């Protein structure tokens, strides 16, 4: 899914922007800051990442009014969803900053979330020295997560990881009548149930075994989608609504969530369900007449 230039750079644009350092990242951070939705903290944060394809991607923090802080989207999570929407398979470099004057390490939750990417320990993170603030160095993710939850204890080595291109959960809707209505090219059609099922099939849920996907429609009939992305630590896991909001924000909807008028959640229910959380979020941020439909799959 192509993203506008505000959230992703082409390989040529990335090459023109220069090396991945504090000087060249400043314009990108300034460009991304307006997309941040820091209603509660009043502290916009930007994550800049460079993928293995040579493209550069942006992420911001999104805080949702009227909802618990654990429903917020961290800039690193936003960035990973942006990578996934663009079919980017690896993250090579990462920088997190408020204004480009100081570069932060990712928090513990975000480190655990990033760990779900294949070869994540090799991700190079731009860091400002806390004592010598004029010194900026690169450190690997493993530096900040020396005693991580080891996903290899649960996830086999050949299991498709968070951004791997062979992710397909093989889900179908339980209702046979609805199954017959699913389009062959469900990742390109504009039907909510098709797009939500396609998202659920891309969902990364190895720990709960409960993949889920959400499709949102705005008042102009445009559809956005996202899927659940889990972490071994569970707390940093990202819900399907939040992932769909990243698509909404980077693909035309901006920050006006009141434009969202319809939503479909497709989920496989075993240990947990996303229905109550999805309903809570949409009741707070979407149009007051927004309708949420829930479809189950197996």
76 is catalytic: yes
- What's the CA dihedral at 162, 168, 172, 173 to 10 degrees? 20
SS3 call for 294: strand
Q: In DSSP terms, which residues pair with 293 in a beta bridge?
A: 264
Residue 169 in contact with residue 204, Cβ under 8 Å? no
**Other C-beta atoms lying within 10 Å of the C-beta of residue 105:** 18
Of 76, 88, 112, 116, the catalytic one is: 76
Distances (CA, A) of 243 to 64, 77, 167, 298: 13, 9, 16, 22
User: Rounded to an integer, what distance in angstroms lies between the CA atom of residue 266 and that of residue 240?
Assistant: 10
Query: Pairing between strand 260-267 and 291-296?
Result: parallel
Which residues are tagged catalytic? 76
């Amino acid at each position: 899914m192509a993203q506008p230039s505000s959230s992703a750079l082409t390989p040529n644009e990335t090459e023109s922007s220069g090396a991945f350092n504090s000087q060249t990242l400043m314009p990108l951070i300034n460009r991304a800051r307006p997309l941040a939705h820091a209603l509660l903290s009043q502290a916009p944060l930007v994550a800049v990442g460079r993928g293995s394809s040579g493209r550069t991607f942006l992420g911001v923090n999104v805080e949702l009014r009227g909802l618990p802080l654990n429903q917020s989207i961290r800039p690193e999570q936003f960035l990973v969803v942006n990578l996934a929407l663009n079919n980017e398979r690896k993250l090579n470099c990462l920088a997190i900053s408020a204004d480009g004057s100081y570069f932060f390490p990712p928090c513990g939750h975000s480190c655990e979330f990033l760990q779900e990417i294949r070869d994540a320990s090799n991700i190079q993170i731009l860091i400002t020295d806390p004592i010598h603030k004029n010194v900026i160095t690169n450190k690997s993710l493993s530096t900040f997560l020396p005693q991580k939850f080891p996903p290899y204890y649960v996830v086999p080595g050949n299991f498709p990881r968070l951004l791997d291109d062979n992710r397909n959960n093989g889900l179908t809707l339980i209702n046979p009548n609805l199954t017959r209505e699913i389009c062959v090219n469900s990742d390109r059609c504009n039907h909510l149930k098709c797009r939500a099922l396609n998202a659920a099939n891309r969902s990364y849920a190895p720990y709960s075994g409960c993949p889920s996907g959400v499709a949102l429609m705005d008042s102009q009939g445009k559809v956005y989608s996202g899927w659940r992305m889990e972490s071994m630590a569970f707390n940093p896991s990202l819900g399907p609504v939040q992932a769909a909001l990243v698509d909404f924000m980077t693909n035309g909807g901006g920050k006006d969530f009141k434009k969202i008028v319809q939503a479909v959640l497709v989920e496989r229910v075993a240990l947990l369900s996303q229905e109550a959380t999805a309903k809570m979020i949409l009741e707070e941020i979407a149009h007051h007449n927004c309708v949420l439909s829930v479809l189950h799959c197996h």
